[in-house]
Amino acid sequence: MNQFRFNIFAATVIAGAGLAFLTLPASAQSVTKTCSTQYQAAKEAGTLKGQKWPDFLSACSAKLKTDDGAAAAAPAEKTPAKKTAKDTATKPAKTTQTAPSTTSGGMSAKAVTKECSTQYQAAKTAGTLNGQKWPQFLSACSDSLKSDNSDATVPDEPAPTKAATTKTTKTQVAKAQTSADGKPLSPAQVAFRARISECGDQWQQAKASNKTRGLTWPQYWSACNTRLKSE
């Protein structure tokens, strides 16, 4: 009889819970359903420890709400943003500019060879080669011209020169390639003097014919010097 009453009571509770379940919102229904499943499992396993369904449901609901609240409070793991095409684009490779065919002294390779050839012939005429052959002379001459920075400043304006009436002698050639104290000039110094002389002659001719185009000597020298070093 007692068992019959218990069954009726349990059926009534379950039926009432079922009706309550149908009237609960979706989230509450989920809680009740979960707790019902857990209740049946605990009942079959004999772990209810005398707990009735209402008590079990109350404790189970509170626990689920607490767990859900903790889950909601936990910050969502940030998903790394996708790299844009701008981020993943590779940096453009550095372009290497082709160096012009000039030496560090500013003279082109052609001008260096031409100047060294002129100096070689002058030294040969003056007898000052001291046994040097052309390859050796060219090597030393080229090195001197490459390290030349003698025209970093503007030279003084050359004075007008008188027209030569006699042929240049060996002594004059040798003298032209020595400094005031008699020491030999380097190939770079010889070339520098030659450019001053040539540009000076052209400047005096331009002045005489009023064809300087309004240029001053420093301006004329700069243009003339650059042109001679590239020829």
**pLDDT tens-digit map of 64-103:** 777 665 444 544 545 545 555 554 444 444 444 333 344 4
Would you state the pLDDT for residue 24? 45
Would you state the pLDDT for residue 100? 39
Q: What is the pTM of this model?
A: 0.47
Kindly give the parts of the chain with pLDDT less than 70.
Answer: 1-28, 67-105, 161-181
Q: What is the 3-state secondary structure (H, E, C) of the chain?
A: CHHHHHHHHHHHHHHHHHHHHHHCCHHHHHHHHHHHHHHHHHHHHCCCCCCCHHHHHHHHHHHHHHHHHHHHHCCCCCCCCCCCHHHHCCCCCCCCCCCCCECCCCCEHHHHHHHHHHHHHHHHHHCCCCCCCHHHHHHHHHHHHHCCCHHHCCCCCCCCCCCCCCCCCHHHHHHHCECCCCCECCHHHHHHHHHHHHHHHHHHHHHHCCCCCCCCHHHHHHHHHHHHHHC
Would you state the pLDDT for residue 164? 46
The candidate with the shortest Cα–Cα distance to 48, out of 59, 32, 61, 64, is: 59
- Tell me if 227 sits within 8 A of 203, measured CB to CB: no
Would you state the pLDDT for residue 116? 93
Would you state the pLDDT for residue 69? 56
Would you state the pLDDT for residue 42? 84
| Residue 54 burial by Cβ neighbours in a 10 Å radius (0-12, 13-18, 19+) | exposed
